[in-house]
Structure 1
Amino acid sequence: MKVILVNERGGVSRSFNFGGLSKALLGLCLLGLPVGALWIGANLPAAESDVFDARAVKAWNKALRKQQEQIDTADQQAREQLTALTVKLAEMQARLTRLDALGERLTTIAKLDEGEFQFGSMPAVGGPEDPGIAGGSELPYQPPEFLEAIGDLSNQIEDRQMQLSTLDSLMARRQLQDEQFIAGRPINRGWMSSRYGYRTDPFSGRRTLHKGVDFAGKKGSDVVSVAAGVVTWAEERSGYGQLVEVNHGNGYKTRYGHNSELKVGLGDVVKKGQVIALMGSSGRSTGPHVHFEVFKNDRQVDPASYIRRTGR
């Protein structure tokens, strides 16, 4: 076999002679090239595909495990939060029970009309129906039962707080009225030595009107206010000696005369039963006692009816 190679530029040619063995080897080479190419083309994508699939499965499994861990964590947190909410709900119910018991007790103490404050029952509510909800084709949102129970309990607690606030204000007013209610004697120890009305004056011997009540006792013993009020006089006054005058509001005021020492000053706020002076014999007096007067709308009245009163 003879092969001739020609050069296009120079026109030079070369020739090669092949024997039988060379022709056989050349033929095998020419035939093996396409077959090898076909085999590589057929097997290379399959190998790459197998490698891609294995990596993808491994990555997917890893992602799934991570998502499962996140789901387990979220489930655990949800259970813990639900347990905490359950405990909180129980605490709120216990508080509501105590509020109801307190409200009923205060209502009884305050002697209010039955039914004026209703502790232990659902709060009364109402209102016109929303036409947007009634006329719509879609049903209104319904919260889960657990959230609905918390909402109902919250409304009940708010209702109880409102009632207790109102009851507290009412009782505070009543307490203030009780404090301002003139009742009792202006001393803790002693006896009545002279009543209100006409008597023989111990100094002049003439029949005169005694416009107060005298309580005799030991010098230096306590003189107390018969009601809460504001001190409008706390010094010497002609005939009264060391005098304390207390304005109780609503047109009432009281006077305490002949004291040896004053325990309050002008403008002081005093409570019912508070010590305001010490018994003495200052001013126009024959011995240790307190001269007690009651004024109603700037007119002196007999203190006897107020002395016999009991606190409200």
Structure 2
Amino acid sequence: MLVKFLALGLVLLLMTGCFSSQQEVIIVEKSINLQNISQHKLTNAKRTKQKIVRKENRKTNRWSIPVKGNISKTFSTRNKHLGLTFDTKAGQNVRAIRNGKVVYVGNKMKSHGKMIIIRHLFGFYSSYTQNKDLIVENGDTVTKGQIIAITSKVPFYFEMKKFKQPINPIKYLK
């Protein structure tokens, strides 16, 4: 009997902490798509519409190709070619691969010619080199597909990094 009484007292003591006014509970909703919770209740027409919207969102979230042209050299850490070289003609438009902020514009690295570096979300950087004319300036905010430069006679060279680590752009530019 005494054991039951002590157990009941312990439970009541623990429960009083739950009801005190000094504690606060914060609930953070992290669901991406709340419609998925009750998806089994949706009609076929609504499911088809959701699939189309998801496919369109995947397409718009992709990174875009910076210039039109065939890739003549691919990413290779072994050959110390840490980007992509495109066969381009002089005068082609160079476009931002995704929204971001221009963090460098210039030609301090002579081997890269006129160069632009854009910082994107989540620690990504993109470098656009061997340009004839630079359209953006340091500090500009750019949008995906915006023309940022014009190519020169030299083949266009493009690199991507994630937190200063070179990454293969092919994985993102599909």
Q: Give TM-score scaled by structure 2 length.
A: 0.64
Unmatched 5+ stretches in structure 1: 1-109, 117-174, 200-207, 282-286
The residue identity in structure 1 corresponding to 2:169 is: P
Taking the aligned partners of 2:62 and 2:113, their CA distance within structure 1 comes to 23
Does the alignment pair 1:262 with 2:141? no
The residue identity in structure 2 corresponding to 1:193 is: S
- Structure ID, larger Rg: 1
SS of residue paired to 1:210:
coil
How large is the Cα RMSD of the aligned pairs?
Answer: 2.6
Note if contact 2:64-2:145 (Cα within 8 Å) is conserved in structure 1: no
Match of 1:293 in 2: 159
The one of 141, 152, 165 equivalent to 1:280 is 152
Match of 1:303 in 2: 169
* Paired residues for 1:64-75 under 5 Å: none
* Paired residues for 1:35-114 under 5 Å: 113=35
Match of 1:185 in 2: 65
SS of residue paired to 2:35:
coil
Note if contact 2:64-2:144 (Cα within 8 Å) is conserved in structure 1: no
Does the alignment pair 1:197 with 2:76? yes
Does the alignment pair 1:251 with 2:131? no
SS of residue paired to 1:307:
coil
Taking the aligned partners of 2:113 and 2:62, their CA distance within structure 1 comes to 23
SS of residue paired to 1:113:
helix
Note if contact 1:223-1:290 (Cα within 8 Å) is conserved in structure 2: no
By how many angstroms is 1:111 displaced?
A: 6.6
The residue identity in structure 2 corresponding to 1:278 is: I
Taking the aligned partners of 1:223 and 1:182, their CA distance within structure 2 comes to 17
From the superposition, tell whether residues 246 and 115 of structure 1 become closer, same or farther in structure 2 (CA, over 3 Å): same
Q: 4+ runs of 1 displaced by more than 6 Å? A: none
| More strand per residue | 2
By how many angstroms is 1:183 displaced?
A: 1.3
Taking the aligned partners of 1:249 and 1:198, their CA distance within structure 2 comes to 24
By how many angstroms is 1:114 displaced?
A: 5.0
Note if contact 1:241-1:258 (Cα within 8 Å) is conserved in structure 2: yes
> Percent of aligned pairs with the same residue?
27
By how many angstroms is 1:212 displaced?
A: 0.4
The residue identity in structure 2 corresponding to 1:183 is: W
Note if contact 2:103-2:138 (Cα within 8 Å) is conserved in structure 1: yes
Taking the aligned partners of 2:102 and 2:173, their CA distance within structure 1 comes to 20
From the superposition, tell whether residues 111 and 245 of structure 1 become closer, same or farther in structure 2 (CA, over 3 Å): same
From the superposition, tell whether residues 198 and 251 of structure 1 become closer, same or farther in structure 2 (CA, over 3 Å): closer
Count of matched residue positions in the alignment of Structure 1 and Structure 2: 124
Does the alignment pair 1:211 with 2:82? yes
| More helix per residue | 1
Taking the aligned partners of 1:247 and 1:198, their CA distance within structure 2 comes to 22
Q: Give TM-score scaled by structure 1 length.
A: 0.37
Taking the aligned partners of 1:229 and 1:198, their CA distance within structure 2 comes to 26
Unmatched 5+ stretches in structure 2: 1-31, 39-56
SS of residue paired to 1:186:
coil
By how many angstroms is 1:198 displaced?
A: 5.4
